[in-house]
Structure 1
Amino acid sequence: MMTRRSRLVQVLLGSLACSATVSFASPSGRVGPIDESKVRTGLSAQVARLVDEAGVLLRLDPVPLPRAWVVLRRRGERLAGGWYSGSDARDALIRALVELTAKNPKLESRVDAIEICLPHSQESALVRKGGAVLSNVHRGIKGIVLENGEAKVMVCPTAMVAGNRSFDNVEKRFRDEHHISLSDYSDHTVARTFDAYQFLLRLKPEPVIIPMFRGNQLIAQSAVNRSTARRLKDLMAKWLISQVQPDGRMIYRYFPSRGEEAKGNNMIRQFMATVALVRLGKETGDAGIAELARKNLRYNLDHFYELNGEHGLIRYKDVRLGAVSLAALAIVEAPFRKEFESYELALRKTTEYMLRGDGSFQTFYDNRDSTDNQNFYSGETQLLWATLYEQTRDKAIIERIQRAFRYYRAWHLDEKNRNPAFIPWHTQAYVKLLLLEDHPEMREFVFEMNDWLLSMQQNDGDYPDTYGRFYDPKRPKFGPPHASSTGVYLEGLIDAYRLAVEHKEQERMARYRDAIMRGLRSLMQLQFADDVDMFYVSKRERVYGGMRTTEYDNGIRVDNVQHAFMGLQRIVKTFDGEGAW
């Protein structure tokens, strides 16, 4: 099922030039080639030849420690592995292979890939009482060594990627397994961190050594083009389709490392996934996908819809304006809308009821004074109403939109309220109107919001795989990095770009396009797209095409995919039409 990515330009050691932790020494480096005459036949001999032909050990600088983390795998499943020591890194590597296969000779015929991690450049680290030794951004790049008396653990970066483990998790497990109290841990534990050379030795269908960066491969900005963007979108579409269960339920969250579905749920994200399925069905003209969307909508309404008088509610623990609005939007956009007409009308009644006289929204149905989540729910409701106005030109709808617009423009521009999460929803709603008729104040607000949003995009830092995501490390108050954030910001930015095109705003067009292209690189970095980035995933059909939450957290949540997919639908269509690639 898995095909190689077109972006795997180089698979031998030369491609390590992109790694932030690797430089090259001359062929006279202190770790030489493996003496193949001393290696028995079989897997260890095959690996020795492959390593020598690629010149891997000759070129490593700094020189690795005399230890190797080696794991034998078959289609992601771990067969055997662990840490092995030797006189140097080459000796440790071969000793690992000899010992692992000697214990179970039948393993040799089963292995199709070998995970290798060679540590180097150890440094002392500070054990913190109130936090982890290292922050999340170092996961998958740095390894950690912890020692407390006789207790010791060494965890390499690829193991943290494969187990989806944080440094905090590693430290807690160390304390728990060795019965170390927090005070004893902070007072007497010695911690060290290290960098590591990461490789995947793929043995089938043909032997090849693939250098890895954070258990993956670094996507170059130059790899973003029309073809790769289409593949990114198409794989997301396949993932969305594959997550709908026979009864219509959409899987909300999945943990690739454990091969398990999470128990949580969120109906705002679930109904937005329904919208994504509806749009996919329309784009492809595929009746089967349309039926899948209908089944998913029916499941959601059967399990979470209730009627209170004339008000339609979506209840999951509570009733949120955003869930009500997006459930209505899923119906409004669907080709089978007539079937759900009574639901639509009741849900729309609820959104109207929750608009206050001053233009603000009551955000939770059961609490008339509620104001939480204004950054999200207000724009989600405006998007529903803008879609309805696009269809009907109903003056009552535009009056409600304008009333809410006046309130939320002032609210958002107040410095204490300003938040990037507000921007994409309101942008999508207002651009939908502005492409029908011009409202100068609304147009300028869209540009003002998105001009400011560009400052949130990360384009520098220690690790280039983070570039292009919408997260500013200097402003953590706006929330952690997340695939769904990058996806929804691209949904808004492509609409802002379309508005800039409409008004011939050349400078804005260039800036918005540049941000979109960088955002696409980030999404490509996060997608499970081949057997390299799924080297530790055993249930690959469950994750193929899905989007990690971050570069270092491989959990897949449905909104990681749906926002990016719907943004890509418009990006591909718009850039194709504009020749903007």
Structure 2
Amino acid sequence: MTSWYREEGGIGYIEYDGKSKLGANAMLLRTFAASPHFEQYQLKASAAADGILALQNADGSFRPWLKEPNYPFDAKYLLTFYSGEALVALLEYYFRTGLTRYFDEAARSAEFYLEEYVRNIADNFYPAYVPWHTIAYRHLYELTKAGKFAEAVFTLNDKLLELQDRSYRIGRFFNPATPQYGLPHASSDGVYTEGLAYAFEMALRTGDPVRARRYLDAITISLKNIASLQYREKLDESSLPFYVYRGAIRTNAGKNSWARIDNAQHTIDAIRALGNFLGSKQASTFDTGL
């Protein structure tokens, strides 16, 4: 907050290196909504929520930057990450406050992206948008019970499973036939697994045991792959003390040994979500096989 939070004209945002991106501001709002100190930061949370709405277009779509960089960027690509993050943030803020304005605006944006990312999935598919929009549509289904949100979750995650490796490094989300979707990355594996946990819950909610089994199987092999990337023993070739990297998850099984925070955090969030859903009433009659 001291280093990067700014307010201007009643709008709160994160500014870093002269730029302010929708995705960072969405994570700021999610942090406020989840904080046990929410009341202390309530005015700033309201400003951050309004900052996200300031980037909403009349048709419900978002713009990726509150303060744009001085270099060219691909707005469509950035929004495959940021749009779903913004939807989730607005809905979590609504859950925390009960302020219907933020539910209404999230629902309006969801209608745009249902058309863009779900109904036109053949033309616009990019895997990065699947988990965030899955979580958003799960929340919207919980609030409205509208079948279109359940169907959107299934459409997105059924498509995502086409990327999961079941032959070479089993469980990772990488298909050599579609290199345009990026190289193997533990952060991607983690967030895709988190989205699949919500898809699993949606299948349980709607009485679809075939999909529930398929999603749970995909989650299981994904977590096994991620576990294989975790540092559990001291590396003889490293001069670093073991506590520095113990439990960290390297980015992939190749030459990239970097351990990024999102590699671990997405995995933690996936496991937490799965644990919650496995303990739910809907799961009580489902044979998980675990």
TM over 0.5: yes
* Aligned equivalents of 1:372, 1:363: Cα separation in 2: 9
Residues 539-554 of structure 1: matches in 2 within 5 Å? Answer: 539-552=241-254, 553-554=256-257
| Equivalent position of 1:447 in the other structure | 154
Secondary structure, counterpart of 1:556 in structure 2:
coil
Secondary structure, counterpart of 2:65 in structure 1:
coil
Task: Choose the corresponding residue for 1:360, options 28, 41, 61.
Answer: 61
Structure 2 counterpart of 1:519, one-letter code: S
Structure 1 counterpart of 2:8, one-letter code: N
Structure 2 counterpart of 1:337, one-letter code: F
- 1:459 touches 1:468 (CA, 8 Å); kept in 2? yes
| Equivalent position of 1:563 in the other structure | 266
- Measured against aligned partners, the alpha-carbon deviations of 1:34-58 in whole angstroms (never above 9, x if no partner) come to xxxxxxxxxxxxxxxxxxxxxxxxx
| Equivalent position of 1:458 in the other structure | 165
1:536 deviates by 2.6
Residues 19-168 of structure 1: matches in 2 within 5 Å? Answer: none
| Equivalent position of 1:377 in the other structure | 82
**1:456–1:403: structure 2 CA closer, same or farther, 3 Å change rule?**
same
| Equivalent position of 2:12 in the other structure | 312
* Aligned equivalents of 2:123, 2:180: Cα separation in 1: 12
Match status 1:324 vs 2:25: yes
* Aligned equivalents of 1:353, 1:371: Cα separation in 2: 18
Match status 1:421 vs 2:128: yes
Higher-helix-fraction structure: 2
- Measured against aligned partners, the alpha-carbon deviations of 1:455-481 in whole angstroms (never above 9, x if no partner) come to 1101113xxxx2101111110100111
1:574 deviates by 2.5
- 1:363 touches 1:372 (CA, 8 Å); kept in 2? no
Q: Percent identity?
A: 29
* TM-score normalized by the length of structure 2: 0.89
**1:370–1:513: structure 2 CA closer, same or farther, 3 Å change rule?**
closer
* Aligned equivalents of 1:394, 1:338: Cα separation in 2: 15
| Equivalent position of 1:339 in the other structure | 40
* TM-score normalized by the length of structure 1: 0.46
| Equivalent position of 2:138 in the other structure | 431
* Aligned equivalents of 1:394, 1:427: Cα separation in 2: 22
* Aligned equivalents of 1:392, 1:348: Cα separation in 2: 11
* Aligned equivalents of 1:568, 1:372: Cα separation in 2: 28
**1:451–1:372: structure 2 CA closer, same or farther, 3 Å change rule?**
closer
1:390 deviates by 2.6
- 2:107 touches 2:140 (CA, 8 Å); kept in 1? no
* Aligned equivalents of 1:435, 1:372: Cα separation in 2: 29
- 1:312 touches 1:343 (CA, 8 Å); kept in 2? yes
Q: CA RMSD in A?
A: 1.9
Secondary structure, counterpart of 2:232 in structure 1:
coil
Q: For structure 2, which runs of at least 5 residues remain unmatched after alignment?
A: 69-73
| Equivalent position of 1:520 in the other structure | 223
Q: For structure 1, which runs of at least 5 residues remain unmatched after alignment?
A: 1-300
Secondary structure, counterpart of 1:415 in structure 2:
helix
> Which 4+ residue blocks in structure 1 deviate beyond 6 angstroms?
none
* Aligned equivalents of 1:370, 1:572: Cα separation in 2: 35
Match status 1:396 vs 2:101: yes
- 2:29 touches 2:93 (CA, 8 Å); kept in 1? no
Secondary structure, counterpart of 1:448 in structure 2:
helix
| Equivalent position of 2:91 in the other structure | 386
Higher radius of gyration, 1 or 2:
1
Structure 1 counterpart of 2:167, one-letter code: D
Secondary structure, counterpart of 1:307 in structure 2:
strand
Equivalent residue pairs, number:
275
1:398 deviates by 2.5
* Aligned equivalents of 1:343, 1:395: Cα separation in 2: 18
Higher relative contact order (CA 8 A, sep 6+): 1
1:506 deviates by 0.8
1:392 deviates by 4.2
Residues 247-286 of structure 1: matches in 2 within 5 Å? Answer: none
Secondary structure, counterpart of 1:302 in structure 2:
coil
- 1:375 touches 1:422 (CA, 8 Å); kept in 2? yes
